[in-house]
Amino acid sequence: MTERVAGPSGQAVAAPTRGGGRGRTRRHDPNYKWIALSNTTLGVLMASINASIVIISLPAIFRGIAINPLDPASTSYLLWIFMGYLLVTAVLVVAFGRLGDMFGRVRMYNAGFLVFTIGSILLALTPFSGPSGALWLIAMRIVQAIGGAFLFANSAAILTDAFPVTQRGLALGINGVAAIAGQFIGLVVGGFLAGIDWRYVFLVSVPIGVIGTVWAYLRLEELATAEHQRIDWWGNLSFGIGLTALLVGITYGIQPYHGQAMGWSSPFVILTIVAGLALLGFFLWVERRVEQPLFDLDLFRIRAFAAGNLAGLLAAIGRGGMTFMLVIWLQGIWLPLHGYNFADTPLWAGIYMLPLTVGFLVAGPVSGFLSDRFGARPFATGGMIVAAASFLGLMELPVDFPYPAFAALLVLNGIGMGLFGSPNTAGIMNSVPARQRGAAAGMRATFQNTGTVVSIGVFFSLMIAGLAATLPTTLYAGLRAHDVPANVAHTIANLPPVASLFGALLGYNPMATLLPPQVLHALPPAQVQVLTGKTFFPQLISGPFQQGLAVVFIAAAVMAVVAAAASWLRGGRYVHVEDEGRGPMPAHGRRAEGGARGR
């Protein structure tokens, strides 16, 4: 087995490590690392864009397959088309990272590019409509997610193999920025393509996937020797089913249940969450007893690895919740109040959130480069403190905010998250043995993707709870003031608040959708114009929404502060160096093998 470490000139060379075997290396090609970086960045960017592109495109997609997403019977379709991709990638990345360690990281990565491309083609060619069309989309999104999980699980390990320790922060920073920026680029691209044809939303990935797949098969090479071992079936099953059950329970917890605003009291939700936690506990028990585990739990004894993953989980929860709240804030309130048609709000929400991406693009590579020299702790910790400050700043804005202040806070948040992400990833990947980089990268991605799914459950629940306390009374009074019959006003006011949130998220005109056509026809034209106009619903919901928003941003700020504390606890710079006869060498206060000086 070989590990690439920094030689005297800083150029990556092949160095022998424990494990024996033969690995293909590029000893004299200094450009290979940039080939690996450009291809993996393309793959991660494509997978990240597709995680968010559907959010903006859902109205056009549902119109294309003739389904009303605000119909209570369609709620499950809506959630699974949107959440299924995130859930599947979160569950599979650890197993696929371990498969990369066992059978070759490049081989698994290449397979992911191919599977993702096939899924994109099948989505663009959706042959059905109605419920059958929705089920087809859900199934093919899962195929896409399987490919995406292969990409996410192995890209960081491939880069860690290809780059010397003195440049890993920069490389992983660029790759990480692509993963985060892709989520926001997807909002803009999805909004633009959905206005042309909903099938283009999926078709856009096909040429990128074909080019990336061919390029990966031709140019990427295995730099580490695969260790063929037995598959830990009990570990795979208990982890996969347990995490799936937990995330499914969280997903269904935000749905209405028997007249209640949310489903956290549903026996199904309680059972799936409890069963998921029990299976994850069983997974920990299994991993301590099998000879060749899915994941070596002893890696969590490495402080840099454990603290980095905890900080990454908390950061993902805070970032994910903020993203969805900002989209709803823009689409449901701010953009209509500023004259934008409801149907146009998805695209413009993506455009107005671009300052967040700018912050990532600036801070990510720079902090990655500096962390190669000074270590991860000061940048990752400082980034979370900056992010917490931005959350508190957003909380202080009025609902109808001045955009320059909003944009400045988005840039600040992007800088904070960018400062954190690159060094944190490099710190995690530098801390583990070369033979376990795939599994470690998979676990890192699992924490990040799980955090995103959990954030949706947590922050939607906080927002729904806030709306449920005040929205019915406010909405009833507003409708009655414009001559809507009392029985209709009562019915609409007592609809689950999640319907209002989804309506805002999907760019629907809420009152035009919720008020029955016969009621609209019976009202005076002037009243209809007010009720279905651009200001009635945003002004009505702004008060209750702001109360819920304050709770959400306080929670996000608290998570960012805790993430900063966890990041600080990672200790000084630590680089695991393979060395015959000795354990891992902390790069702290002495020169580590290969020229990496610890700090």
pLDDT in tens, 207-251: 988 999 999 999 898 887 666 677 888 888 898 899 889 888 888
Measure the N-to-C terminal CA separation of the chain; round to a whole number of Å: 28
pLDDT reading at 575 higher than 80: no
Residue 84 has pLDDT above 60, yes or no: yes
Q: Which amino acid is at 268?
A: F
Q: What is the pLDDT of residue 376?
A: 85
Across 177-181, 432-436, 514-518, least confident range: 177-181
**Contacts (Cβ under 8 Å, ≥6 apart) of 185:** 45, 49, 357
pLDDT tens by residue, 168-185: 888 887 887 787 778 778
The gap from C-alpha 20 to its chain's centroid, in whole angstroms, comes to 37
- Angle at Cα 320 formed by Cα 316 and Cα 323, nearest 5°? 140
Retrieve residue 589's tokens. Answer: 């206060």
DSSP 334: I
Q: Where are the alpha helices (DSSP H) in 335-436?
A: 335-337, 345-352, 354-374, 377-396, 403-430
| Tokens, residue 295 | 């994941």
**Residues written for the chain:** 599
Beta carbons of 45 and 182 less than 8 angstroms apart: yes
Q: Indicate if the pLDDT at residue 6 is higher than 70.
A: no
CA dihedral 219, 432, 96, 283 (to 10 degrees): 180
Of the two residues 257 and 41, the one the predictor is more confident about is 41
The per-residue pLDDT for range 142-158, each reduced to its tens digit, is 999 999 899 888 888 89
pLDDT at 226: 65
**218-222, 234-238, 474-478, 580-584: least confident range:** 580-584
Q: Is residue 490 predicted with pLDDT exceeding 50?
A: yes
Confidence of residue 14 (pLDDT cuts 50, 70, 90): very low
Burial class for 523, CB neighbours closer than 10 Å (0-12, 13-18, 19+): middle
Helix (H, G, I), strand (E, B) or coil at 64: helix
User: What is residue 581's predicted lDDT score, i.e. its pLDDT?
Assistant: 39
HSE-up of residue 501 (Cα within 13 Å, Cβ side):
30
Taking only the tens place, the pLDDT of each residue in 188-210 is 888 788 878 889 999 988 998 89
Query: What does the alpha-carbon distance between residue 484 and residue 266 come to, in Å, rounded to a whole number?
Result: 33
Asked if 410 and 173 touch (Cβ cutoff 8 Å), the reply is: no
The pLDDT, as a whole number, for residue 434 is: 79
Confidence of residue 13 (pLDDT cuts 50, 70, 90): very low
List, as one string, the DSSP characters of 529-588. HHHTSSSHHHHHHHHHHHHHHHHHHHHHHHHHHHHHHHHHTT-S-------TTS-----S
* DSSP E strand stretches across 169-254: none
Segment among 15-19, 98-102, 161-165 with least mean pLDDT: 15-19
Distance from C-alpha of 153 to C-alpha of 89, rounded to nearest angstrom: 9
From 391, 387, 418, 393, select the one nearest 184 (Cα to Cα): 418
Distance, CA of 29 to CA of 33 (rounded, Å): 8
Most confident among 95-99, 129-133, 361-365 (mean pLDDT): 129-133
Neighbours of 207 (CB within 10 A): 11
Query: What is the pTM (predicted TM-score) of this model?
Result: 0.80
Dist CA 520 CA 512 (whole Å): 8
Contacts of 134 (CB under 8 A, 6+ apart): 65, 67, 74, 77, 81
Dist CA 40 CA 30 (whole Å): 17
Rounded-to-integer distance, Cα 457 and Cα 451, Å:
10
Q: How many whole angstroms separate alpha carbon 561 and alpha carbon 382?
A: 10
Q: Which residue has the higher pLDDT, 212 or 579?
A: 212
Q: For residue 591, give the DSSP letter.
A: B
What does the pLDDT read at residue 35?
92
Q: Which 8-state DSSP code applies to residue 332?
A: I
16: β partners: 2
Binned at pLDDT 50, 70 and 90, residue 290 comes out as: confident
Task: Give yes or no for residue 468 having a pLDDT over 90.
Answer: no
Q: What is the mean pLDDT of residues 400-412?
A: 95
Which CA distances in Å does 325 have to 13, 83, 332? 47, 16, 10
Name residue 13's beta-bridge partners: 5
Q: Which tokens sit at 223?
A: 């730099």
Reply yes or no on whether the pLDDT at 289 is more than 90.
no
Residue percentage of the chain with pLDDT more than 70: 88
Cα separation of 540 and 475, whole Å? Answer: 7
Mean pLDDT of all residues in 307-330:
85
Q: Provide mean pLDDT across the span 75-81.
A: 79
Average pLDDT, the chain: 82
